[in-house]
Chains A and B, each alone.
Chain A
Amino acid sequence: MHEQMLYFLQQLLNGLTVGSAYALIAIGYTMVYGIIGMINFAHGEIYMIGAYIALITITGLATLNITFLPVVLVIALVLAMIVSSAFGWSMERVAYRPLRGGNRLNPLISAIGVSYFLKNYVLLAQGSRDIGFPLLIKGSWTFGDPNGFEANFSYMQLTIFIVTIVCMVALTLFISKSRLGRACRAVAQDLKMANLLGIDTHKIIAATFVIGSALAAVAGMLLGMYYGSIDPEFGFIAGLKAFTAAVLGGIGSIPGAMLGGIVLGVAESFTSAYLSTDYKDVVSFLLLILILLFRPSGLLGKPEVEKI
């Protein structure tokens, strides 16, 4: 009984870890959707680029003999966020803004193009093989019987929880209290009206891309390190999962994206543990289908009211 309890806790921890990262990525999908009603299919690639930038920075710092861990981690994180944001900002500027006002399908197709472009760009620059991502945050707490099942709570997992919570609290405060956050909400509710109040809505939209990209980069670095290796396809499945998480939570809702990510991560972890790893992805997408069938607005989303 005790052992089963520990096993359960272990799976819950693993699920929460991956789920936190899904949640961070999902926020980018949901914010962009909330404002311009478009799914940014290239968002997973931004996450992948974030992981690469973090890895390159860590490697670079090591060759410079900078090894003090907190400094290395902070520099890698900040640089990953900045570069990914630059990518996010540029793609909005180059691939989506010129298409605004036309058919809603156009930016969607453009997004798929951007996704392929970025994936192949990284493929050319970094090669197609897996690159090892050093686990810089080592160590863990273990619970249980050394001769039976031992549950592991690693410092890396703790780091992922803490960073995710900090990011979410910061984002929530930013959205609810700051001037720009208020403008983001106003633009999401009525873009045309915001424009009629003299607000440059293009800038607000660009800001949401920047914020979403920065959060995706955080997730990229954390999960890259957690999994131990990255490759140019790294963003594909994670992007798809995070998109599922965003829909699950209610697309357009930021708390929804957070909840959706966690729920999805935990569901996957339990499926792997109690059913089979093979069914992991099946269950996530089954969840997506079920939510679309029975609660299309998602767990926390509001039912869509068509504007006339």
Chain B
Amino acid sequence: MLTLENVHTQYGKIEALHGVSLTVEAGEIVTLIGANGAGKTTLLMTICGDPRASAGTITFDGRDITHEDTASIMRSGLAIVPEGRRIFPGLSVEENLHMGGFFRSKQEVLESMDYVCDLFPRLKERLSQRAGTMSGGEQQMLAIGRALMSRPRALFLDEPSLGLAPLIINQIFEIIGQLREEGITIFLVEQNANQALKLADRGYVLENGRIVLHDTGDNLLANEDVRKAYLGG
């Protein structure tokens, strides 16, 4: 469904990704783990076209999206829950959700709204609240809900557990599993490698802008090097 071939990304003269190749098949949960500054977020954002890959090819659903602009990539069935959630703090919860379905028809937006409200009853209770006044966990749910409003076939999540209480993290991971059941392909970037790998079908390990390891989730969990580096022993 999603293929990266030898993708390089540069910020000015500094190269952040040095030839990354990976694939995500339809219906899979694939996770990308790695230390701070390894380039995980850069990798996700490169797929979204911001920044643009300086070399290599990115294909989504058989279509070359390497040189497309962000808005049209994001209209092709992809959605992202970005690092730091980035909800629109001054807009109400409902308005935030509407923005997620901006390019969908009125009817589709109404349907998606019901779908998201079923998935997150908490959001339904707070539709008219200003998004910026909600707790971190609720904001994370809103960010996921907003991404789902466009009814994407593939969902990218960048550190959805960051800064949240363990109880909320469990809820978020439960939802991610549920989304996969519904057939949404998931590409998950996580520092919380333990939980991510337990959930994922496959995982990639990114180190200094290169993929250094690739295996099934279970194998990576059992891998001695991975345990030492990312799972705290």
Contact = CB atoms under 8 A, between A and B. Distances in A.
A195 B70 contact: yes
A192 B98 contact: no
B2 interface: no
Given A183-B102, A197-B102, A190 B86 contact: yes
A182 interface: yes
B168 to A, nearest CB: 22
A59 B71 CA distance: 46
A186 B71 contact: no
Interface residues of A, number: 17
Given A195-B71, A197-B150, 19 more contacts: A179-B102, A182-B95, A182-B99, A183-B102, A185-B88, A186-B91, A190-B86, A193-B88, A196-B80, A197-B79, A197-B100, A197-B102, A198-B71, A198-B75, A199-B71, A199-B99, A199-B103, A200-B71, A201-B71
**Chain B residues touching A, range:** 20 to 34
Interface pairs A-B: 10 shortest CB-CB: A198-B74, A198-B75, A193-B86, A200-B71, A189-B88, A195-B70, A186-B88, A186-B99, A198-B103, A199-B102
A201 to B, nearest CB: 7
Interface string A250-277: 0000000000000000000000000000
A36 to B, nearest CB: 16
Given A182-B95, A185-B90, A189-B89, A196 B50 contact: yes
- Main SS class of interface, A: helix
Interface of A: 179, 182-183, 185-186, 189-190, 192-201
A163 B72 CA distance: 40
Contacts of A200: 71
Contacts of B72: 198
Among A195, A198, A199, max chain B CB count under 10 A is at A198
B58 interface: no
20 contacts: A182-B98, A185-B88, A185-B91, A186-B91, A189-B90, A192-B50, A193-B86, A194-B99, A196-B70, A196-B82, A197-B100, A197-B102, A197-B146, A198-B72, A198-B74, A198-B75, A199-B102, A199-B103, A200-B71, A201-B71
Contacts of A193: 82, 86, 88
Interface string B64-88: 0000001110110001101000101
Among B48, B70, B89, max chain A CB count under 10 A is at B70
Nearest to B106: A179
Contacts of A197: 74, 79, 99-100, 102, 146, 150
Contacts of A186: 88, 91, 95-96, 99
Nearest to A183: B102
A199 B71 CA distance: 6
Nearest to A192: B50
B67 to A, nearest CB: 16
A194 B87 CA distance: 10
A199 B103 CA distance: 7
Contacts of B70: 195-196
Contacts of A192: 50, 86
